[in-house]
Chain A
Amino acid sequence: MLTSGIILLAGSLLEPNPGLIFWTAVTFVIVLLILKKVAWGPILGALDEREKGIQSSIDRAHQAKDESEAILLKNKQLLAKADAESDRIIREGKDYAEKLRADFTDKAQAEAKKMIASAKDEIEQEKRRALDVLRNEVADLAVKGAEKIIKTALDADMQKKIVDSMIQDLSTKRN
């Protein structure tokens, strides 16, 4: 049957040729086996290796990115914390300074008041002493005047004049 088929189709495009089939099969199998050993092994191995390398590089890059993001976040947090800390310190400093200032003013005012009070006291004392001195002086003068009056006749007019002049005297002297 095969032979009759070959004769039927001989010379046409579909001419069967067992020899060619045989050679194709043999050639193809040999080429396949050799190439598998010589070419496909190394090439596919290299491609696989490179693919894995690329994958691991990508993984590593992603990991590095995650890590750096975490570090960045941490840094930001630290910075915010430091900011808050410095704010707090400044505020505290200001408060302290304010308090200190208030304290100082209070103290100074108290001191001044005290000084004023002591000054007033002193003035009062001085005044009293001065008055005492004046009183003694006045008494002395009065005594002296009386002496004078007594010495110069006990004339009422005279006496009056004398007292008046004395008082005049006194007032001018006091002033």
Chain B
Amino acid sequence: MKRLSVTRSKAIFKVFAVLLPLLLSGYGLAAASAERSSGASGNMAVTPAVEAVHGGAEAAPEEEKAGDVIMHHILDNHVFAFEPFGSVELPRLSVPAAVPVLGGMDISITKHVVMLWLVSALLLIVFSVVGLKYKTLTARQAPKGLANAIEALVEFVRLDVAKSNIGHGYEKHLPYLLTVFFFILFCNLLGLIPYGATATGNVNVTLTLSIFTFFVTQIAAFKAHGVKGYLQHLTAGTHWSLWIIMVPIEIIGQFTKPFALTVRLFANMTAGHIIILSLIFISFILKSYVVAATVSVPFAIFIYLLELFVAFLQAFVFTMLSALFIGLATAHSGNDEHEAAVAHH
């Protein structure tokens, strides 16, 4: 898939090499109205994302347009835009109709899929390097550099997240928790890089990750209690006459946990980006350099730094809650009140 996108992007880059001067000139605010018609005429190659930015920049007073640009930036897309240098049209794929169940499903490589792959590649590179270092490291040597930095995070997840929440048998779940933590962390951080997109700001991605947590939790519960113990857990230890109320509540509770995970991560990542973009657009809407210098840029930088913190925080929270749910599912009876308290969370 990647190779396909690369060969395609080459062809598109050639087209953009021709159109680049036009695009750059069309970026100026002064020549906005004059360029708009020519931009429209060259619409065949100019991608929606670039056009949207033009629209936002040129027709600033219309607030609807700014909102559209922001949404365009946040939402998933079939185009990977590198404004003003051009954009890459990503391949649209679908499962062959012959495949059962999934037949005809749209599995296009979207912007967020590319980001996921970038994150994965980065994760694999960083962690194979660190893993190799650890293979050569003896117990008496202290890790240095990258290995040391990663170790601090790994140790944190291992002790403060996994061990303190799951307790006995936490080692089994460590690979999942560590992967989720670093996957989300890298997704969050890559979303803060210019031209990057936040894959974790897409509800589908966070939903998938929480579904993984859901399955891990359920399987851990089955393994810890067996089928009988699992069903007993659903009654929350109450009298049988209350089961008609308790069982549905407990079953709903099983699903609200991953739902909460989904929405928390997605909303946090999306909100931060919307705030940054909105602050930037204030200056375009008001058409004022003063506003740009005094409000937009300083506040955007502040929110950006906050986002850096939030990137770590949300990765931690997701991992922490996953560990907590696993811990609750595997904990032995007597923790029901505690579980109810956490379910409210």
Contacts and interface: CB of A to CB of B under 8 A. Distances in A.
B183 interface: yes
A20 B199 CA distance: 10
A22 B93 CA distance: 12
Contacts, number: 128
A20 B112 contact: yes
Interface string A9-45: 0010111111111111101101110111011111111
B208 A32 contact: no
A169 B225 CA distance: 151
Interface stretch (B47-55, B100-108, B335-343): B100-108
Interface secondary structure of B, over-half rule: helix
Nearest to B267: A13
B131 A32 contact: no
Given A15-B75, A19-B107, A31 B158 contact: no
Contact of A17 (B110, B117, B130): B110
B113 interface: yes
A105 to B, nearest CB: 77
Nearest to A40: B175
Question: How large, as a class, is the contact surface on chain B?
Answer: 35 or more
B113 A20 contact: yes
B250 interface: no
Interface stretch (B59-67, B119-127, B227-235): B119-127
B128 interface: yes
Given A28-B208, A36-B179, A42 B131 contact: yes
B204 A17 contact: yes
Contacts of A49: 139
Nearest to A36: B175
Contact of B208 (A11, A21, A50): A21
A93 interface: no
B175 A27 contact: no
Contacts of B14: none
Contacts of A38: 124, 127-128, 131
Nearest to B74: A13
A47 interface: yes
Contact of B176 (A13, A24, A32, A46): A32
Contacts of B313: none
**Contact size class for A?**
35 or more
A43 B151 contact: yes
A166 B212 CA distance: 162
A11 B139 CA distance: 54
A22 B179 contact: no
Interface in B38-87: 71, 74-76
B131 A28 contact: no
B205 interface: yes
A15 B71 CA distance: 12
B220 to A, nearest CB: 16
A27 B266 CA distance: 18
B203 interface: yes
Contact of A24 (B109, B158, B205): B205
Nearest to A54: B139
A23 B107 contact: yes
Contacts of B140: 53
Contacts of B74: 13
B160 interface: no
Given A30-B120, A40-B174, A40-B175, 8 more contacts: A20-B76, A22-B107, A31-B179, A32-B179, A34-B124, A42-B134, A45-B134, A47-B155
14 contacts: A13-B71, A16-B204, A18-B106, A19-B94, A20-B110, A20-B202, A21-B205, A23-B109, A31-B179, A32-B175, A36-B175, A40-B131, A40-B175, A44-B158
Interface of B: 71, 74-76, 93-94, 102, 105-110, 112-113, 116-117, 120, 123-124, 127-128, 130-132, 134-135, 137, 139-140, 143, 150-151, 154-155, 158, 171, 174-176, 178-179, 182-183, 199, 202-205, 207-209, 211-212, 266, 270
Q: Which 7 A-B pairs have the closest CB atoms?
A: A39-B127, A39-B131, A42-B134, A19-B107, A24-B208, A20-B204, A36-B175
